[in-house]
A and B are shown apart, each in its own frame.
Chain A
């Protein structure tokens, strides 16, 4: 693989790095807020993928003037607007869930939560 392969596709490399680091954070962190942060990074990488694909070097905004012009593809950008809305809603729900979890369990640490849940499970088994 030559140097150009890396350079020519630098946007993809950025996407891959972001995606994997976001994914890694989601899987490896115990703190729920950090998981949400990771999830956001992960989603942003997807946005970048779409946006960078739509961009054409030297292209302008897609406003039709009647003359033949080189312009960027607007559709991916529009799609990502929608995706961003979805991502924001997801984050909002995730955060509000985190608030409720903190109220109900007193912790946001996943290990701690699992321990509490196991304790509840044991109690319910014993009470029968």
Chain B
């Protein structure tokens, strides 16, 4: 039965598509393959999500080997939700890629570009789907390696993309190695690599220095990957100089996936009761999350390159996620998962809108935005909607996550945190205000003949923005999903429903 194989289909289609892509020389064919390779995972993850919600956790045994010996794809409400987010953003970006890539990547290397895009997507989906800690590392590196290449492909327009990719590579590899070291320590203690199995054995171990070391190495490694402040220095340059569609894709997925991996480690491998972990939340994640919100937002205000501005904004948004997680209660976790979803939609949409601007003007400096409000009304309207979402105006998705974050902070009695969250929104208002003011209130340069972006580019942008408004006005669905996801993570996985096993 095909539905039983959906987890592996979702992960393998992009990888297989990548292999086919590399064989073709035609960029249109490669794009078609990319669309298929992104659409099938999107569809399958939707079905998986429905299945998981109705029937509980889904466990797929790779090659029929029983876990903990074989590799297990273990999908509960949390990763089903993240799978949908990643594959949906991937599909939107794949759709956007055609026109944008034509403009930014030389014809001859376009099939290779699509290959990398598919590899990256497949790797990320693998990270999310897998229940095996070492397998997670392999998928993480598949996605990271292709992401380095994708960033470097921006060199056609801006040679600084190369150094940005190099730095990204160095830091990403160090992060991955840290993860492997930590995993090695944990493997020595537990003798298993299956996350659920690790969780069972850790609970019998008690406190132990090697365990702490392993935990620390893993968390630092993943923090590098999800650009936790102050380990974010690779991110602004990589996002700024990458091709537009790559920026949108990475902003919506890469950091999210790494953070998801972090959540798995925190909540599934080490249960919340683990003493060391609660301390980490309170004394490490909370201050760093707050620092990220303020430092990165303030830096964003002073950027003249819009892509870099939004890149810093991404670092700040990761801060919100960390704050939500560090509240160490289910409300905070739920707010964080919800924000992960919202931010993925908004930030990819915004970066795609900027991609439209780059497509027409060839620049993403704030000066290039002058007068665009009248020349590219649809693009700019989408940008405004995205900006309102980021600020957290009601009737956009951004509002719901702010609401639940503040609620969780108040629930914990942390007034200072609640006020910091809303203060961060004000900083967001300032830097988006700069873009919008330039676009609408400053005249276009003389003799400028810029017109609206083509429909093919606008469609995915508006799709994401309409999603933002729809779920902003009726937030029941994402809130329910986020709640189910946080419960799956937070509550003891062994008390949940028995997994439904398929080969």
**CB of A21 closer than 8 Å to a CB of B:** no
Q: How large is the interface on A (under 10, 10 to 19, 20 to 34, 35 or more residues)?
A: 20 to 34
Give chain A nearest CB distance to B365 CB in angstroms.
6
Chain A to chain B: the 8 pairs with minimum beta-carbon distance, closest first = A104-B159, A128-B367, A86-B141, A101-B162, A97-B166, A49-B184, A100-B162, A46-B180
Stretch from B28-36, B148-156, B326-334, B464-472 at the A interface: B148-156
- Residues of the A chain whose Cβ atoms lie less than 8 Å from the Cβ of B166: 32, 94, 97-98, 101
With A89-B145, A105-B159, A128-B365 as known contacts, state yes or no: A97 contacts B177, CB within 8 Å. Answer: no
Stretch from B14-22, B167-175, B287-295, B381-389 at the A interface: B167-175
Q: Is the CB of B177 within 8 A of A46?
A: yes
- Residues of the B chain whose Cβ atoms lie less than 8 Å from the Cβ of A89: 141, 145
A98-128: which have CB < 8 Å to B?
98, 100-101, 104-105, 113, 117, 120, 124-125, 128
- Residues of the A chain whose Cβ atoms lie less than 8 Å from the Cβ of B159: 104-105
- Residues of the B chain whose Cβ atoms lie less than 8 Å from the Cβ of A26: 170, 174
**CB of B276 closer than 8 Å to a CB of A:** no
Give chain B nearest CB distance to A108 CB in angstroms.
10
Nearest opposing residue in chain A for B149, CB measure:
A93
Give chain B nearest CB distance to A94 CB in angstroms.
6
Give chain B nearest CB distance to A49 CB in angstroms.
5
A54-110: which have CB < 8 Å to B?
75-76, 79, 82-83, 86, 89-90, 93-94, 97-98, 100-101, 104-105
Known: A49-B184, A89-B145. 18 other contacts (CB 8 A): A35-B170, A39-B170, A39-B174, A42-B174, A46-B180, A46-B181, A53-B184, A89-B141, A90-B145, A93-B169, A94-B169, A97-B152, A97-B165, A97-B166, A97-B169, A100-B155, A100-B162, A101-B166
- Residues of the A chain whose Cβ atoms lie less than 8 Å from the Cβ of B365: 124, 128
Q: Is the CB of B174 within 8 A of A125?
A: no
Q: Is the CB of B162 within 8 A of A104?
A: yes
With A100-B155, A113-B163 as known contacts, state yes or no: A90 contacts B181, CB within 8 Å. Answer: no
Q: Is the CB of B163 within 8 A of A101?
A: yes
Give chain B nearest CB distance to A57 CB in angstroms.
16
CA distance A35 to B184 in the complex (A): 24
- Residues of the A chain whose Cβ atoms lie less than 8 Å from the Cβ of B149: 93
Give chain A nearest CB distance to B352 CB in angstroms.
23
Most buried by A among B137, B152, B173: B173
- Residues of the B chain whose Cβ atoms lie less than 8 Å from the Cβ of A128: 304, 365, 367
Q: How large is the interface on B (under 10, 10 to 19, 20 to 34, 35 or more residues)?
A: 20 to 34
CA distance A82 to B133 in the complex (A): 13
**CB of B284 closer than 8 Å to a CB of A:** no
CA distance A9 to B262 in the complex (A): 30
- Residues of the A chain whose Cβ atoms lie less than 8 Å from the Cβ of B152: 97, 100
Give chain A nearest CB distance to B490 CB in angstroms.
30
CA distance A120 to B163 in the complex (A): 13
Q: Is the CB of B174 within 8 A of A79?
A: no
**CB of A43 closer than 8 Å to a CB of B:** yes
Nearest opposing residue in chain B for A97, CB measure:
B166
CA distance A39 to B175 in the complex (A): 11
Over the window 1-45 of chain A, the binary record of Cβ atoms lying under 8 Å from chain B Cβ atoms (1 yes, 0 no) is 000000000000000000100010010000010010001001100
CA distance A35 to B138 in the complex (A): 23
Q: Is the CB of B162 within 8 A of A90?
A: no
- Residues of the B chain whose Cβ atoms lie less than 8 Å from the Cβ of A104: 155, 159, 162
CA distance A93 to B168 in the complex (A): 12
CA distance A89 to B146 in the complex (A): 10
- Give 9 A-B contacts (CB < 8 Å), ordered by A residue: A32-B166, A39-B174, A43-B173, A89-B145, A90-B141, A90-B169, A93-B149, A101-B162, A104-B155
- Residues of the A chain whose Cβ atoms lie less than 8 Å from the Cβ of B187: 53, 76
**CB of B160 closer than 8 Å to a CB of A:** yes
B117-167: which have CB < 8 Å to A?
134, 137-138, 141, 145, 148-149, 152, 155, 159-160, 162-163, 165-166
Q: Of B134, B174, B184, which contacts A23 at CB under 8 A?
A: B174
With A42-B174, A86-B141, A94-B166 as known contacts, state yes or no: A120 contacts B160, CB within 8 Å. Answer: yes
